[in-house]
Structures are given as structure tokens and as C-alpha cells.
Amino acid sequence: MTERQVLPGDEIAVEEEYVASDGTYVRDGKIYASQIGTLILDDEESIAKVVPANPPNVLKEKDIVYLTIDDTRKTMATATAIATEGTCREIGSSTVATIHVSKISPEYTDNVADEFRKGDLVRGRVISVKPSLQITTKEPHLGVIRAQCGICKTELVKKGKDLHCPKCRRSQPRKLADDYGNVKI
Ligand SMILES: [Zn+2]
């Protein structure tokens, strides 16, 4: 078996000797790499394929993701997905996410600003990726996992169902994850 790094368009084999497989294409009897990666010429199976060095981390339904809240509007929060649970690999698909007001909490809410604030770090679950990334935080383990006071930037602490700023001595409501203040990623 031969292995080497190849670029898209590199001629890697001829069809007489190998069957073109993943990451390749054929033109005029020659096999070319269609992606960057490691070329594998498998002589036993007579297969030529190119395996990406780092398979992209493409978000899919039911994935658990970590997001930062960018803005809260009347019917939804907009957020940026920054990581997927269980992998350090960078997200390779769109990270622009929305959380609709009906998908925030199992309890009724009609005010997104009572659940999330700009800058909150949130754990959510992917509902759909097309046509846009939609997130739910309805489960107990989903919701805000870290938040700062909007006035003094002190990290907020859990007090009852709400978050509390020990400096400003003010409480703010949130949809909290059940492990707020004790998160292990
Ligand atoms: Zn404060």
C-alpha cells in the first residue's frame, strides 16, 4: 500500500490498474485527486482513494453544540456556534444559528430577553441545519452555562431559578442548563 499527500487535480493512478474511489475522479482513463489529503493506493483491492487529513466537522441534527448569544429579538435569539460537544475540531459548516422563542424553554415564554442575554454561553441541540441552523434549549441539560453581568461584567451566580450579580446585587432571569456554575466540557 502506498500513501502520500496529494492536491486536487493531481494525477494519482490509471484506471487500468486501480478503481477510482472516494476523493477521486476519472478523466480519459486517468484517476485524479478531487480533494486534498492522503492518497491510498490499495494494491490488494486495486482501489485508489484520497482521505481528507482532517475530515470537516459538519453539524448535523441532534448534535450538542456550544454557542454564544449575539442578539435577542422579539421572537428569537441569534447565536454563533463555536464548538461541538465531543470534538475539538473546528466547525466546518455554517455557524450562524437561531433559537426561536418556542424552542427555548419547556415553560411558556414570550420574551427572549428573559431567557438569554447577549454574550451568554449556551449549550444547545441542533434541530435542523437546512436551510439554516436551528437550535433548541428545551431540555434540562441545555441552556445558559456561563453568563456575565451586563453592567459590571462579573460572572453571574445561580440564585434560585435566576442568575445574580454579587456586585450589583441584581437578579436576572435565564433559561439555565442544569449544571450552570459546574460545567465540565
Ligand atoms: Zn454586575
Domain architecture of the chain: domains with CATH = 2-51 (2.40.50.100), 64-172 (2.40.50.140)
The pLDDT of residue 57? 85
The pLDDT of residue 168? 96
Ligand 1 centre distance from Cα of residue 150 (Å)? 7
Ligand 1 centre distance from Cα of residue 168 (Å)? 4
Ligand 1 centre distance from Cα of residue 112 (Å)? 20
**How far apart are alpha carbons 181 and 176 in whole angstroms?**
10
**How far apart are alpha carbons 9 and 125 in whole angstroms?**
38
Per-residue pLDDT of the chain (185 residues; tens, 9 = 90+): 667 888 889 999 999 999 999 999 999 999 999 988 899 999 999 999 998 877 778 899 999 999 999 999 999 999 999 999 988 778 888 899 999 999 999 999 999 999 999 999 999 999 999 999 999 999 999 999 999 998 999 999 999 889 999 999 999 999 999 999 888 76
List the grid coordinates of 11: 494525477
The pLDDT of residue 107? 92
Ligand 1 centre distance from Cα of residue 154 (Å)? 6
The pLDDT of residue 185? 66
Ligand 1 centre distance from Cα of residue 182 (Å)? 20
pLDDT of 108-147, one tens digit each? 999 999 999 999 999 999 999 999 999 999 999 999 999 9
Ligand 1 centre distance from Cα of residue 78 (Å)? 23
Place of cell 449544571: 179
Q: Which of 141, 132, 162 is nearest to 66 (CA)?
A: 141
Ligand 1 centre distance from Cα of residue 151 (Å)? 5
- The model's pTM is 0.73
The pLDDT of residue 86? 85
Ligand 1 centre distance from Cα of residue 176 (Å)? 18
- Residue 65 burial by Cβ neighbours in a 10 Å radius (0-12, 13-18, 19+): buried
Pairing relationship of beta strands 143-146 and 133-136 according to DSSP bridges = unpaired
Ligand 1 centre distance from Cα of residue 181 (Å)? 16
Who surrounds ion ligand 1 at CB < 5 A? Answer: 149, 151-152, 154, 165, 167-168
List the grid coordinates of 53: 487529513
Ligand 1 centre distance from Cα of residue 146 (Å)? 14
